[in-house]
Amino acid sequence: MPIKALNDRKKLSSDFNEANDAFIDEVLSAFQAGRIPADLARAYLAHPVAMMHTDGAQAVANYFERMLAQRPNIDWTPGG
């Protein structure tokens, strides 16, 4: 694998990890503040894993981005 491809892969992995951490922090914060119940927090944390299909990590990263773009007023309603 060429060096550029390896570097691109590492960058994508780093970006994904940062987005993942930010999303988890946001869900936990909403749960701790009482804005969402435990079962909904679990569903939000499990949902990206269920999205791992043909688009792989990019689908999950897009999901995180859509949710976090709603800050500071994230609509936690399922399907919202």
Asked whether residue 6 is assigned to any structural domain, the reply reads no
Asked whether residue 42 is assigned to any structural domain, the reply reads yes
In contact, 74 and 67? CB cutoff 8 Å? yes
Asked whether residue 58 is assigned to any structural domain, the reply reads yes
In contact, 62 and 12? CB cutoff 8 Å? no
From first to last of the 80 residues of the chain, give the pLDDT tens digit.
456 655 666 666 777 788 888 888 999 999 999 998 998 888 888 766 555 556 666 777 777 788 888 888 888 777 65
At residue 74, what are phi and psi to the nearest 5 degrees? -70, 130
Domain range for 55 is 18-68
